[in-house]
Chain A
Amino acid sequence: MAPASGGPPVLEVRGLSKRYKPRKRGSPTTLANDGLNLSVGRGEIVALLGPNGAGKTTLLRQIAGQLLPDGGTIRIAGVDMIARPLAAKERLSVIPQECASSESLTVRETVLLFGRIKGLERKTATQRTQEILVEVGLQDESEKLVRELSGGLKRRVLIAVAMSAPAAELLLLDEPTTGLDPEARRSVWRVILGLKRRGLSILLTTHYIEEAEYLADRVVVVTHGRFVVHGRVEEIRAGLPYQGRLEVRALDRLSPEARRRVDALGQRWKEALRSDSYVRFEIPDPFSRETVSELGELTSLGVRASLSPVSLEDAYLAVVGAVEE
Protein backbone atom coordinates (compact mmCIF):
# COMPACT_ATOMS: atom_id res chain seq x y z
CA MET A 1 0.00 0.00 0.00
CA ALA A 2 1.76 3.09 -1.21
CA PRO A 3 1.35 6.51 0.38
CA ALA A 4 -0.77 9.09 -1.37
CA SER A 5 1.95 11.73 -1.25
CA GLY A 6 5.09 11.62 -3.36
CA GLY A 7 8.64 11.24 -2.01
CA PRO A 8 10.11 8.37 -0.06
CA PRO A 9 7.82 6.91 2.61
CA VAL A 10 8.54 7.62 6.27
CA LEU A 11 7.33 4.14 7.19
CA GLU A 12 7.78 1.17 4.92
CA VAL A 13 6.68 -2.29 6.00
CA ARG A 14 7.25 -5.26 3.69
CA GLY A 15 6.09 -8.86 4.15
CA LEU A 16 5.71 -8.51 7.91
CA SER A 17 4.61 -11.63 9.72
CA LYS A 18 4.36 -12.85 13.27
CA ARG A 19 3.17 -16.06 14.88
CA TYR A 20 2.85 -16.34 18.65
CA LYS A 21 4.27 -19.53 20.06
CA PRO A 22 1.84 -21.58 22.15
CA ARG A 23 2.21 -21.56 25.93
CA LYS A 24 1.51 -25.30 26.05
CA ARG A 25 3.57 -27.71 24.00
CA GLY A 26 1.56 -29.23 21.17
CA SER A 27 -0.95 -26.37 20.94
CA PRO A 28 -1.14 -24.56 17.60
CA THR A 29 0.67 -21.27 17.04
CA THR A 30 -1.44 -18.11 16.79
CA LEU A 31 -1.16 -16.06 13.62
CA ALA A 32 -0.83 -12.40 14.61
CA ASN A 33 -0.13 -11.00 11.16
CA ASP A 34 0.79 -12.41 7.82
CA GLY A 35 2.73 -10.82 4.95
CA LEU A 36 1.69 -7.23 5.64
CA ASN A 37 2.82 -4.41 3.34
CA LEU A 38 2.26 -0.80 4.31
CA SER A 39 3.74 2.61 3.56
CA VAL A 40 3.05 5.93 5.25
CA GLY A 41 4.12 9.10 3.46
CA ARG A 42 5.41 12.33 4.95
CA GLY A 43 2.67 14.29 6.71
CA GLU A 44 0.14 11.52 6.13
CA ILE A 45 -2.24 9.99 8.69
CA VAL A 46 -3.13 6.33 8.20
CA ALA A 47 -5.72 4.69 10.45
CA LEU A 48 -5.85 0.97 11.19
CA LEU A 49 -9.38 -0.26 11.83
CA GLY A 50 -10.36 -3.75 12.87
CA PRO A 51 -12.12 -5.82 15.48
CA ASN A 52 -10.47 -6.73 18.79
CA GLY A 53 -7.67 -9.23 18.23
CA ALA A 54 -7.34 -8.36 14.54
CA GLY A 55 -3.61 -7.69 14.90
CA LYS A 56 -3.55 -3.89 14.95
CA THR A 57 -1.63 -3.53 18.21
CA THR A 58 0.75 -6.35 17.24
CA LEU A 59 1.60 -4.46 14.04
CA LEU A 60 2.20 -1.24 15.97
CA ARG A 61 4.35 -3.04 18.55
CA GLN A 62 6.46 -4.53 15.76
CA ILE A 63 6.94 -1.14 14.10
CA ALA A 64 7.79 0.42 17.49
CA GLY A 65 10.53 -2.14 18.09
CA GLN A 66 8.73 -3.66 21.06
CA LEU A 67 8.05 -7.00 19.39
CA LEU A 68 10.39 -8.83 17.05
CA PRO A 69 8.68 -10.02 13.83
CA ASP A 70 9.24 -13.53 12.46
CA GLY A 71 9.73 -12.22 8.93
CA GLY A 72 9.66 -9.11 6.78
CA THR A 73 11.24 -5.69 7.02
CA ILE A 74 10.38 -2.40 8.76
CA ARG A 75 12.10 0.81 7.72
CA ILE A 76 11.56 4.08 9.59
CA ALA A 77 12.74 7.02 7.47
CA GLY A 78 14.94 4.53 5.62
CA VAL A 79 16.45 2.95 8.76
CA ASP A 80 15.96 -0.77 9.37
CA MET A 81 14.15 -1.27 12.69
CA ILE A 82 15.20 -4.90 13.06
CA ALA A 83 18.89 -4.47 12.26
CA ARG A 84 19.42 -0.98 13.77
CA PRO A 85 16.72 -0.52 16.42
CA LEU A 86 18.36 2.38 18.29
CA ALA A 87 18.83 4.47 15.13
CA ALA A 88 15.31 3.65 13.92
CA LYS A 89 13.77 4.51 17.31
CA GLU A 90 15.28 7.98 17.12
CA ARG A 91 13.02 8.61 14.15
CA LEU A 92 9.78 7.57 15.80
CA SER A 93 7.59 8.31 18.79
CA VAL A 94 5.06 5.94 20.30
CA ILE A 95 2.04 6.25 22.54
CA PRO A 96 1.03 2.75 23.64
CA GLN A 97 -2.57 1.77 24.28
CA GLU A 98 -3.92 3.00 27.64
CA CYS A 99 -0.42 4.02 28.68
CA ALA A 100 -0.09 6.12 31.83
CA SER A 101 2.68 8.62 32.31
CA SER A 102 4.75 8.89 35.52
CA GLU A 103 1.96 9.99 37.82
CA SER A 104 4.22 11.49 40.48
CA LEU A 105 5.97 13.95 38.19
CA THR A 106 4.67 17.33 37.15
CA VAL A 107 3.66 17.84 33.54
CA ARG A 108 6.75 19.99 32.89
CA GLU A 109 9.12 17.48 34.54
CA THR A 110 7.62 14.65 32.50
CA VAL A 111 8.08 16.36 29.14
CA LEU A 112 11.50 17.80 30.03
CA LEU A 113 13.03 14.59 31.40
CA PHE A 114 11.59 12.26 28.78
CA GLY A 115 12.69 14.77 26.14
CA ARG A 116 16.26 14.76 27.45
CA ILE A 117 16.30 10.96 27.58
CA LYS A 118 15.08 10.86 23.98
CA GLY A 119 17.88 13.12 22.84
CA LEU A 120 16.79 16.73 23.33
CA GLU A 121 19.89 18.90 23.75
CA ARG A 122 20.26 19.76 27.43
CA LYS A 123 20.75 23.47 26.66
CA THR A 124 17.58 23.74 24.61
CA ALA A 125 15.42 21.21 26.49
CA THR A 126 13.76 23.76 28.80
CA GLN A 127 12.82 26.08 25.96
CA ARG A 128 11.58 23.25 23.74
CA THR A 129 9.51 21.84 26.61
CA GLN A 130 7.78 25.20 27.04
CA GLU A 131 7.03 25.35 23.30
CA ILE A 132 5.57 21.85 23.31
CA LEU A 133 3.40 22.58 26.36
CA VAL A 134 1.95 25.62 24.58
CA GLU A 135 1.47 23.64 21.38
CA VAL A 136 -0.61 20.93 23.08
CA GLY A 137 -2.42 23.41 25.33
CA LEU A 138 -0.89 22.27 28.63
CA GLN A 139 0.84 25.50 29.64
CA ASP A 140 -1.68 26.16 32.44
CA GLU A 141 -1.24 22.65 33.84
CA SER A 142 2.55 22.53 33.61
CA GLU A 143 3.23 22.57 37.37
CA LYS A 144 0.49 20.08 38.26
CA LEU A 145 1.30 16.46 39.02
CA VAL A 146 0.20 14.19 36.17
CA ARG A 147 -2.01 12.26 38.59
CA GLU A 148 -4.11 15.39 39.16
CA LEU A 149 -5.10 15.66 35.47
CA SER A 150 -8.20 14.39 33.68
CA GLY A 151 -7.94 11.49 31.22
CA GLY A 152 -7.91 13.83 28.22
CA LEU A 153 -5.11 15.97 29.64
CA LYS A 154 -3.07 12.87 30.52
CA ARG A 155 -3.33 11.80 26.88
CA ARG A 156 -2.06 15.22 25.88
CA VAL A 157 0.91 14.78 28.23
CA LEU A 158 1.81 11.59 26.38
CA ILE A 159 1.48 13.38 23.06
CA ALA A 160 3.77 16.10 24.43
CA VAL A 161 6.27 13.40 25.42
CA ALA A 162 6.03 11.98 21.91
CA MET A 163 6.67 15.44 20.46
CA SER A 164 9.78 15.87 22.57
CA ALA A 165 11.75 13.41 20.44
CA PRO A 166 13.95 15.79 18.43
CA ALA A 167 14.38 13.62 15.33
CA ALA A 168 10.98 11.87 15.23
CA GLU A 169 9.35 11.67 11.81
CA LEU A 170 6.75 9.02 12.58
CA LEU A 171 4.20 8.93 15.41
CA LEU A 172 2.49 5.67 16.37
CA LEU A 173 -0.74 6.07 18.32
CA ASP A 174 -2.46 2.98 19.68
CA GLU A 175 -6.11 3.86 20.33
CA PRO A 176 -5.28 7.47 21.28
CA THR A 177 -8.74 8.45 22.49
CA THR A 178 -10.10 5.25 24.01
CA GLY A 179 -11.90 6.01 27.25
CA LEU A 180 -12.09 9.77 26.67
CA ASP A 181 -15.30 11.78 26.67
CA PRO A 182 -16.37 13.34 23.33
CA GLU A 183 -14.99 16.77 24.19
CA ALA A 184 -11.61 15.43 25.31
CA ARG A 185 -11.53 13.24 22.21
CA ARG A 186 -11.97 16.24 19.96
CA SER A 187 -9.26 18.18 21.76
CA VAL A 188 -6.85 15.28 21.16
CA TRP A 189 -7.89 15.20 17.51
CA ARG A 190 -7.01 18.88 17.17
CA VAL A 191 -3.54 18.20 18.57
CA ILE A 192 -3.05 15.24 16.20
CA LEU A 193 -4.05 17.35 13.20
CA GLY A 194 -1.60 20.03 14.40
CA LEU A 195 1.19 17.43 14.34
CA LYS A 196 0.22 16.42 10.81
CA ARG A 197 0.43 20.06 9.74
CA ARG A 198 3.98 20.14 11.12
CA GLY A 199 4.85 17.34 8.69
CA LEU A 200 4.79 14.42 11.12
CA SER A 201 3.58 11.12 9.68
CA ILE A 202 1.07 9.30 11.87
CA LEU A 203 -0.08 5.70 12.04
CA LEU A 204 -2.93 5.15 14.49
CA THR A 205 -5.25 2.36 15.51
CA THR A 206 -8.79 3.06 16.60
CA HIS A 207 -12.17 1.49 17.24
CA TYR A 208 -13.91 4.79 16.57
CA ILE A 209 -14.95 4.89 12.92
CA GLU A 210 -15.63 8.62 13.08
CA GLU A 211 -12.08 9.14 14.39
CA ALA A 212 -10.63 7.41 11.35
CA GLU A 213 -13.04 9.27 9.07
CA TYR A 214 -12.14 12.64 10.60
CA LEU A 215 -8.37 12.23 10.93
CA ALA A 216 -7.11 9.78 8.36
CA ASP A 217 -5.95 10.35 4.82
CA ARG A 218 -6.08 6.62 4.29
CA VAL A 219 -7.76 3.79 6.17
CA VAL A 220 -6.66 0.18 6.41
CA VAL A 221 -9.11 -2.47 7.67
CA VAL A 222 -7.38 -5.39 9.43
CA THR A 223 -8.92 -8.72 10.35
CA HIS A 224 -7.18 -11.95 11.34
CA GLY A 225 -3.79 -10.34 10.81
CA ARG A 226 -4.39 -9.40 7.18
CA PHE A 227 -5.27 -6.16 5.44
CA VAL A 228 -8.67 -6.69 3.82
CA VAL A 229 -9.40 -3.16 2.57
CA HIS A 230 -7.28 -0.08 2.21
CA GLY A 231 -7.59 3.28 0.55
CA ARG A 232 -8.99 6.75 1.02
CA VAL A 233 -12.26 6.95 2.95
CA GLU A 234 -14.24 7.92 -0.18
CA GLU A 235 -12.68 5.05 -2.15
CA ILE A 236 -13.67 2.56 0.52
CA ARG A 237 -17.20 3.95 0.67
CA ALA A 238 -17.45 3.82 -3.13
CA GLY A 239 -16.57 0.13 -3.03
CA LEU A 240 -19.89 -0.74 -1.38
CA PRO A 241 -22.69 -2.15 -3.57
CA TYR A 242 -25.06 0.53 -2.18
CA GLN A 243 -24.38 4.22 -1.70
CA GLY A 244 -27.00 5.38 0.76
CA ARG A 245 -29.36 4.41 3.53
CA LEU A 246 -32.93 5.19 4.35
CA GLU A 247 -33.69 5.16 8.06
CA VAL A 248 -37.16 5.09 9.59
CA ARG A 249 -37.64 5.85 13.29
CA ALA A 250 -40.63 5.56 15.65
CA LEU A 251 -41.78 2.55 13.62
CA ASP A 252 -44.01 1.36 16.46
CA ARG A 253 -46.05 4.57 16.40
CA LEU A 254 -46.99 4.56 12.69
CA SER A 255 -50.52 4.38 11.33
CA PRO A 256 -51.42 1.05 9.70
CA GLU A 257 -51.22 2.64 6.22
CA ALA A 258 -47.81 4.16 6.87
CA ARG A 259 -46.59 0.89 8.36
CA ARG A 260 -47.67 -1.02 5.23
CA ARG A 261 -45.86 1.50 3.09
CA VAL A 262 -42.64 1.15 5.08
CA ASP A 263 -42.84 -2.65 5.08
CA ALA A 264 -43.29 -2.61 1.29
CA LEU A 265 -39.91 -0.89 0.91
CA GLY A 266 -38.31 -4.20 1.80
CA GLN A 267 -39.35 -5.55 -1.59
CA ARG A 268 -37.30 -2.86 -3.37
CA TRP A 269 -34.35 -2.35 -1.08
CA LYS A 270 -32.36 -4.60 1.19
CA GLU A 271 -33.28 -4.30 4.84
CA ALA A 272 -30.01 -3.90 6.76
CA LEU A 273 -31.17 -3.45 10.35
CA ARG A 274 -34.51 -3.68 12.17
CA SER A 275 -35.83 -3.34 15.70
CA ASP A 276 -39.34 -2.70 17.03
CA SER A 277 -38.96 1.03 16.48
CA TYR A 278 -36.28 1.33 13.78
CA VAL A 279 -35.55 0.02 10.31
CA ARG A 280 -32.73 0.79 7.88
CA PHE A 281 -32.66 0.05 4.14
CA GLU A 282 -29.64 0.01 1.84
CA ILE A 283 -30.27 2.31 -1.14
CA PRO A 284 -28.28 2.02 -4.42
CA ASP A 285 -28.56 5.76 -5.14
CA PRO A 286 -29.75 7.95 -2.26
CA PHE A 287 -30.12 11.04 -4.44
CA SER A 288 -32.10 9.60 -7.37
CA ARG A 289 -35.45 11.20 -8.21
CA GLU A 290 -37.25 7.97 -7.31
CA THR A 291 -35.65 7.79 -3.83
CA VAL A 292 -36.24 11.43 -3.01
CA SER A 293 -39.84 11.12 -4.16
CA GLU A 294 -40.33 8.07 -1.92
CA LEU A 295 -38.97 10.01 1.02
CA GLY A 296 -41.45 12.83 0.32
CA GLU A 297 -44.39 10.43 0.29
CA LEU A 298 -43.28 8.76 3.51
CA THR A 299 -42.97 12.14 5.20
CA SER A 300 -46.46 13.12 4.06
CA LEU A 301 -47.77 9.98 5.82
CA GLY A 302 -46.15 11.16 9.08
CA VAL A 303 -43.20 8.76 8.85
CA ARG A 304 -39.98 9.96 10.49
CA ALA A 305 -37.64 8.96 7.66
CA SER A 306 -34.24 10.25 6.56
CA LEU A 307 -31.82 9.61 3.70
CA SER A 308 -28.05 9.69 4.04
CA PRO A 309 -25.02 8.61 2.03
CA VAL A 310 -23.11 5.53 3.25
CA SER A 311 -20.58 6.08 5.96
CA LEU A 312 -17.20 4.51 6.59
CA GLU A 313 -18.93 2.51 9.32
CA ASP A 314 -21.21 0.90 6.72
CA ALA A 315 -18.21 -0.02 4.61
CA TYR A 316 -16.28 -1.31 7.63
CA LEU A 317 -19.15 -3.49 8.83
CA ALA A 318 -19.75 -4.85 5.32
CA VAL A 319 -16.08 -5.77 4.88
CA VAL A 320 -15.56 -7.26 8.34
CA GLY A 321 -18.90 -9.05 8.16
CA ALA A 322 -17.98 -10.59 4.79
CA VAL A 323 -14.61 -11.79 6.13
CA GLU A 324 -16.17 -13.28 9.27
CA GLU A 325 -18.76 -15.15 7.14
Chain B
Amino acid sequence: MNGSALRTAYQTYDALEMAMRATLREIGVLLAFVIIFPLGFLFFLGQIATPSLRAQVLVGSVMMEMALLNINVVAQGIGQDKLSKLYDLWVSFPISPVVYVASLALSVLPFSLGSALLTLAAGAVYFHLNLIPLLLPLLLGLLLVWASTIGIGFLIGVYGRSPRAINSNAQFVGIVMTFFAPIFYPVSVLPLPLQYVAYAWPLTWGSSLLVSIIQGAANQVLLASLALGAYAALWLVLIGTGLRWRQV
Protein backbone atom coordinates (compact mmCIF):
# COMPACT_ATOMS: atom_id res chain seq x y z
CA MET B 1 0.00 0.00 0.00
CA ASN B 2 1.57 3.33 -1.02
CA GLY B 3 1.57 6.47 1.16
CA SER B 4 -1.39 8.06 -0.54
CA ALA B 5 -3.59 4.97 -0.17
CA LEU B 6 -2.53 4.58 3.45
CA ARG B 7 -3.39 8.18 4.16
CA THR B 8 -6.79 7.77 2.47
CA ALA B 9 -7.40 4.69 4.65
CA TYR B 10 -6.51 6.62 7.84
CA GLN B 11 -8.68 9.55 6.82
CA THR B 12 -11.57 7.21 6.02
CA TYR B 13 -11.21 5.61 9.45
CA ASP B 14 -11.30 9.01 11.17
CA ALA B 15 -14.23 10.21 9.08
CA LEU B 16 -16.03 6.93 9.78
CA GLU B 17 -15.50 7.35 13.52
CA MET B 18 -17.03 10.79 13.27
CA ALA B 19 -19.98 9.59 11.16
CA MET B 20 -20.63 6.58 13.45
CA ARG B 21 -20.71 8.71 16.59
CA ALA B 22 -23.07 11.20 14.96
CA THR B 23 -25.28 8.45 13.49
CA LEU B 24 -25.63 6.59 16.79
CA ARG B 25 -26.46 9.78 18.70
CA GLU B 26 -28.89 11.05 16.11
CA ILE B 27 -30.78 7.94 14.96
CA GLY B 28 -29.61 5.20 17.33
CA VAL B 29 -33.14 4.06 18.26
CA LEU B 30 -34.30 4.24 14.66
CA LEU B 31 -31.48 1.90 13.63
CA ALA B 32 -32.90 -0.80 15.91
CA PHE B 33 -36.10 -0.61 13.86
CA VAL B 34 -34.09 -0.61 10.64
CA ILE B 35 -32.55 -3.93 11.66
CA ILE B 36 -35.88 -5.72 12.11
CA PHE B 37 -37.68 -3.93 9.26
CA PRO B 38 -37.08 -6.56 6.50
CA LEU B 39 -38.61 -9.32 8.65
CA GLY B 40 -42.07 -7.92 7.87
CA PHE B 41 -41.52 -8.43 4.15
CA LEU B 42 -40.02 -11.85 4.71
CA PHE B 43 -42.97 -13.17 6.71
CA PHE B 44 -45.63 -11.55 4.52
CA LEU B 45 -44.18 -12.62 1.17
CA GLY B 46 -43.16 -15.99 2.57
CA GLN B 47 -46.84 -16.72 3.22
CA ILE B 48 -47.90 -16.09 -0.37
CA ALA B 49 -44.82 -17.30 -2.28
CA THR B 50 -44.59 -20.75 -3.83
CA PRO B 51 -41.82 -22.98 -2.39
CA SER B 52 -39.67 -22.45 -5.51
CA LEU B 53 -39.68 -18.70 -4.92
CA ARG B 54 -38.83 -18.77 -1.23
CA ALA B 55 -35.07 -18.25 -1.73
CA GLN B 56 -35.94 -15.28 -3.93
CA VAL B 57 -38.23 -13.81 -1.25
CA LEU B 58 -35.51 -14.21 1.36
CA VAL B 59 -32.91 -12.55 -0.90
CA GLY B 60 -35.35 -9.80 -1.85
CA SER B 61 -35.94 -8.92 1.80
CA VAL B 62 -32.20 -8.76 2.46
CA MET B 63 -31.47 -6.81 -0.72
CA MET B 64 -34.15 -4.25 -0.01
CA GLU B 65 -32.48 -3.42 3.27
CA MET B 66 -28.92 -3.34 1.92
CA ALA B 67 -29.77 -1.27 -1.15
CA LEU B 68 -32.43 1.06 0.23
CA LEU B 69 -30.49 1.94 3.36
CA ASN B 70 -27.21 2.38 1.52
CA ILE B 71 -28.64 4.62 -1.20
CA ASN B 72 -30.67 6.66 1.27
CA VAL B 73 -27.92 7.12 3.85
CA VAL B 74 -25.33 8.29 1.32
CA ALA B 75 -27.71 10.56 -0.62
CA GLN B 76 -29.46 12.01 2.42
CA GLY B 77 -26.16 12.39 4.28
CA ILE B 78 -24.86 14.53 1.42
CA GLY B 79 -28.18 16.43 1.36
CA GLN B 80 -27.99 17.12 5.09
CA ASP B 81 -24.38 18.26 4.78
CA LYS B 82 -25.32 20.56 1.90
CA LEU B 83 -28.06 22.07 4.05
CA SER B 84 -25.69 22.75 6.95
CA LYS B 85 -22.82 23.79 4.58
CA LEU B 86 -20.71 20.99 6.06
CA TYR B 87 -20.45 19.66 2.51
CA ASP B 88 -18.53 22.81 1.50
CA LEU B 89 -16.24 22.24 4.47
CA TRP B 90 -15.56 18.64 3.39
CA VAL B 91 -14.85 19.73 -0.20
CA SER B 92 -12.29 22.24 1.08
CA PHE B 93 -10.43 19.53 3.05
CA PRO B 94 -7.30 17.92 1.60
CA ILE B 95 -9.07 14.58 1.14
CA SER B 96 -10.30 12.40 -1.69
CA PRO B 97 -14.09 12.40 -2.13
CA VAL B 98 -13.83 8.63 -1.54
CA VAL B 99 -13.04 9.34 2.13
CA TYR B 100 -16.22 11.32 2.58
CA VAL B 101 -18.54 8.96 0.71
CA ALA B 102 -17.03 5.81 2.19
CA SER B 103 -17.42 7.16 5.72
CA LEU B 104 -21.11 7.90 5.11
CA ALA B 105 -21.76 4.46 3.62
CA LEU B 106 -19.64 2.57 6.17
CA SER B 107 -21.41 4.26 9.08
CA VAL B 108 -24.56 2.21 8.49
CA LEU B 109 -22.94 -0.92 7.09
CA PRO B 110 -22.81 -2.69 10.49
CA PHE B 111 -26.56 -2.13 10.88
CA SER B 112 -27.50 -3.27 7.39
CA LEU B 113 -25.22 -6.29 7.72
CA GLY B 114 -26.74 -7.06 11.13
CA SER B 115 -30.18 -6.74 9.61
CA ALA B 116 -29.22 -8.98 6.69
CA LEU B 117 -27.83 -11.67 8.98
CA LEU B 118 -30.92 -11.53 11.21
CA THR B 119 -33.18 -11.79 8.14
CA LEU B 120 -31.14 -14.71 6.76
CA ALA B 121 -31.35 -16.47 10.12
CA ALA B 122 -35.10 -15.91 10.33
CA GLY B 123 -35.50 -17.06 6.72
CA ALA B 124 -33.44 -20.18 7.35
CA VAL B 125 -35.71 -21.15 10.24
CA TYR B 126 -38.94 -20.09 8.49
CA PHE B 127 -38.17 -21.81 5.19
CA HIS B 128 -36.18 -24.73 6.66
CA LEU B 129 -32.98 -23.79 4.80
CA ASN B 130 -29.49 -24.72 5.97
CA LEU B 131 -27.52 -21.52 5.34
CA ILE B 132 -24.71 -22.07 7.87
CA PRO B 133 -22.20 -23.48 5.30
CA LEU B 134 -23.07 -20.56 2.99
CA LEU B 135 -22.56 -17.87 5.61
CA LEU B 136 -19.16 -16.66 4.39
CA PRO B 137 -20.07 -16.49 0.67
CA LEU B 138 -23.34 -14.77 1.59
CA LEU B 139 -21.48 -12.24 3.71
CA LEU B 140 -19.03 -11.51 0.88
CA GLY B 141 -21.98 -11.26 -1.51
CA LEU B 142 -23.69 -8.75 0.76
CA LEU B 143 -20.53 -6.64 0.84
CA LEU B 144 -20.42 -6.68 -2.96
CA VAL B 145 -24.06 -5.55 -3.09
CA TRP B 146 -23.23 -2.75 -0.65
CA ALA B 147 -20.20 -1.62 -2.66
CA SER B 148 -22.10 -1.72 -5.94
CA THR B 149 -24.81 0.67 -4.74
CA ILE B 150 -22.69 3.37 -3.03
CA GLY B 151 -22.35 5.41 -6.20
CA ILE B 152 -26.10 5.63 -6.73
CA GLY B 153 -26.50 7.52 -3.46
CA PHE B 154 -23.45 9.65 -4.32
CA LEU B 155 -24.86 10.65 -7.71
CA ILE B 156 -28.24 11.53 -6.21
CA GLY B 157 -26.54 13.52 -3.45
CA VAL B 158 -24.01 15.53 -5.43
CA TYR B 159 -26.30 16.33 -8.37
CA GLY B 160 -29.38 17.14 -6.26
CA ARG B 161 -30.21 20.83 -6.30
CA SER B 162 -31.62 21.00 -2.79
CA PRO B 163 -31.74 18.75 0.27
CA ARG B 164 -35.47 18.28 -0.28
CA ALA B 165 -34.93 17.19 -3.88
CA ILE B 166 -32.15 14.84 -2.77
CA ASN B 167 -34.39 13.20 -0.14
CA SER B 168 -37.23 12.75 -2.62
CA ASN B 169 -34.95 11.41 -5.35
CA ALA B 170 -33.24 8.98 -2.97
CA GLN B 171 -36.57 7.57 -1.81
CA PHE B 172 -37.95 7.40 -5.33
CA VAL B 173 -34.89 5.66 -6.74
CA GLY B 174 -34.69 3.33 -3.75
CA ILE B 175 -38.30 2.25 -4.11
CA VAL B 176 -38.07 1.90 -7.89
CA MET B 177 -34.90 -0.17 -7.60
CA THR B 178 -36.35 -2.29 -4.85
CA PHE B 179 -39.77 -3.08 -6.25
CA PHE B 180 -39.30 -2.74 -10.02
CA ALA B 181 -35.91 -4.37 -10.22
CA PRO B 182 -36.27 -8.16 -10.10
CA ILE B 183 -35.18 -8.77 -6.55
CA PHE B 184 -38.38 -10.28 -5.11
CA TYR B 185 -38.94 -12.30 -8.28
CA PRO B 186 -36.57 -13.92 -10.81
CA VAL B 187 -35.44 -11.86 -13.77
CA SER B 188 -36.66 -14.62 -16.09
CA VAL B 189 -40.31 -13.66 -15.51
CA LEU B 190 -39.72 -10.34 -17.30
CA PRO B 191 -40.15 -9.98 -21.09
CA LEU B 192 -36.80 -10.28 -22.85
CA PRO B 193 -36.28 -6.55 -23.60
CA LEU B 194 -36.94 -5.70 -19.96
CA GLN B 195 -34.47 -8.36 -18.86
CA TYR B 196 -31.73 -6.43 -20.69
CA VAL B 197 -32.83 -3.24 -18.93
CA ALA B 198 -32.93 -5.05 -15.59
CA TYR B 199 -29.34 -6.22 -15.97
CA ALA B 200 -28.25 -2.59 -16.15
CA TRP B 201 -29.15 -2.30 -12.46
CA PRO B 202 -26.66 -3.58 -9.90
CA LEU B 203 -29.52 -4.83 -7.72
CA THR B 204 -30.51 -7.38 -10.37
CA TRP B 205 -26.99 -8.79 -10.25
CA GLY B 206 -26.98 -8.64 -6.45
CA SER B 207 -30.20 -10.61 -6.25
CA SER B 208 -28.91 -13.08 -8.81
CA LEU B 209 -25.67 -13.51 -6.83
CA LEU B 210 -27.34 -14.22 -3.48
CA VAL B 211 -29.96 -16.59 -4.98
CA SER B 212 -27.21 -18.43 -6.87
CA ILE B 213 -25.16 -18.82 -3.68
CA ILE B 214 -28.17 -20.33 -1.90
CA GLN B 215 -28.98 -22.58 -4.87
CA GLY B 216 -25.32 -23.50 -5.50
CA ALA B 217 -25.15 -22.22 -9.10
CA ALA B 218 -21.39 -21.61 -9.29
CA ASN B 219 -21.26 -20.14 -12.84
CA GLN B 220 -23.92 -17.59 -12.05
CA VAL B 221 -22.15 -16.73 -8.78
CA LEU B 222 -18.98 -15.94 -10.70
CA LEU B 223 -20.74 -13.89 -13.37
CA ALA B 224 -22.78 -11.86 -10.88
CA SER B 225 -19.71 -11.28 -8.68
CA LEU B 226 -17.80 -9.92 -11.67
CA ALA B 227 -20.69 -7.63 -12.60
CA LEU B 228 -21.03 -6.30 -9.06
CA GLY B 229 -17.25 -5.88 -8.77
CA ALA B 230 -17.29 -3.90 -12.01
CA TYR B 231 -20.01 -1.64 -10.62
CA ALA B 232 -18.05 -1.11 -7.40
CA ALA B 233 -14.87 -0.29 -9.37
CA LEU B 234 -16.79 2.09 -11.61
CA TRP B 235 -18.18 3.98 -8.62
CA LEU B 236 -14.76 4.11 -7.00
CA VAL B 237 -13.25 5.66 -10.14
CA LEU B 238 -16.14 8.09 -10.64
CA ILE B 239 -16.14 9.22 -7.01
CA GLY B 240 -12.34 9.30 -6.79
CA THR B 241 -11.98 11.48 -9.85
CA GLY B 242 -14.16 14.06 -8.13
CA LEU B 243 -17.27 13.77 -10.25
CA ARG B 244 -19.04 17.04 -9.29
CA TRP B 245 -17.09 17.12 -5.98
CA ARG B 246 -15.58 20.44 -7.03
CA GLN B 247 -18.44 22.26 -8.74
CA VAL B 248 -18.11 23.57 -12.27
Contact = CB atoms under 8 A, between A and B. Distances in A.
A67 B245 CA distance: 9
Contact of A66 (B10, B84, B247): B247
A51 interface: no
A101 B15 CA distance: 14
Contacts of B94: 86-87, 89-90, 118-119, 165
A86 B95 CA distance: 7
A318 interface: no
A228 interface: no
Given A113-B18, A114-B18, 12 more contacts: A61-B88, A67-B248, A68-B248, A99-B84, A99-B86, A104-B21, A105-B21, A105-B22, A117-B15, A122-B10, A145-B25, A172-B92
B164 interface: no
A99 B88 contact: yes
Contacts of A114: 18
State the majority secondary structure of interface residues on B.
Answer: helix
Given A87-B94, A92-B92, A117-B95, A68 B85 contact: no
A120 to B, nearest CB: 10
Interface string A97-126: 111111011000100011011110010000
Contact of A89 (B11, B22, B93, B248): B93
A202 to B, nearest CB: 15
Interface string A44-58: 000000000000000
A98 B18 CA distance: 21
A64 interface: yes
B92 A117 contact: no
Contacts of B91: 64-66
7 contacts: A64-B91, A66-B92, A89-B93, A94-B92, A102-B86, A117-B95, A165-B94
A96 B89 contact: yes
B25 A104 contact: yes
A64 B90 CA distance: 11
A284 interface: no
Nearest to A172: B92
B17 A113 contact: yes
Given A85-B246, A117-B14, A117-B99, A99 B85 contact: yes
Interface in B185-234: none
A72 to B, nearest CB: 15
Interface in B89-106: 89, 91-96, 99
| Shortest 9 CB-CB contacts between residues of A and residues of B | A99-B85, A89-B94, A94-B92, A100-B84, A96-B88, A104-B25, A90-B94, A104-B22, A116-B14
A86 B248 CA distance: 17
Contact of B92 (A89, A100, A102, A145): A89
Contacts, number: 85
A302 to B, nearest CB: 53
Q: How large is the interface on B (under 10, 10 to 19, 20 to 34, 35 or more residues)?
A: 20 to 34
Contacts of B89: 94-96, 99, 161
Contacts of B14: 113, 116-117
Contact of B93 (A104, A118, A122): A118
B246 to A, nearest CB: 5
Contacts of B99: 117
A94 B88 contact: yes
Contacts of B17: 113
Nearest to A116: B14
Contacts of A145: 25
Contacts of B93: 89, 117-118
Contacts of B25: 104-105, 145
B246 A65 contact: yes
Contacts of A87: 94
B242 to A, nearest CB: 8
Nearest to B19: A102
B85 A100 contact: yes
Interface in B46-75: none
A22 to B, nearest CB: 14
A98 B85 contact: yes
B47 to A, nearest CB: 40
A118 B99 CA distance: 12
A100 B86 contact: yes
Contacts of B86: 99-102
A117 B99 CA distance: 9
A118 B100 CA distance: 12
Contacts of A96: 85, 88-89, 92
Interface string B15-48: 1011001100110000000000000000000000
Contacts of A61: 88, 247
Nearest to B84: A100
